[in-house]
Structure 1
Amino acid sequence: APSAGPDVDELRRTFDDLLADSAGTPGADDEHGGVRDHQVEALDAAHDLLAQALASLDSPR
């Protein structure tokens, strides 16, 4: 029987991609170590994804 809830491997890949995006590019011309908007957006998306994954663990299957 197929399991209920999100695919864990897919969540892990998406989360890893978002964290990589949030880290920025080594050697990029960031002034004074500033954080770019896309990095903040990637972290926000990773946070939302983690919240969804945790909520699915709490919900009865």
Structure 2
Amino acid sequence: MRKNQVHATKTRIVLADSRIHILGSFENIQLAKRAVCNLVLGTPPCKVYGTLRSMASRASNKF
């Protein structure tokens, strides 16, 4: 089992065998899920991370 803290989305991602578990608030999980799906589908990591940072900053500016 492997754990990783994702700071851009404030989630915790756990890779367990063939499963991916994402822990956090509902909105943050949705951001992290979209990023993981894009990576699996072959989007370059730099593009995914850039998109993720801009979406996370927009979400934090809402409050």
Structure with the larger RCO, 1 or 2 (CA within 8 Å, 6+ apart): 1
Give the TM-score taking structure 1 as reference length: 0.40
Where is the strand percentage greater, Structure 1 or Structure 2? 2
Greater Cα radius of gyration, structure 1 or 2: 1
Where is the helix percentage greater, Structure 1 or Structure 2? 1
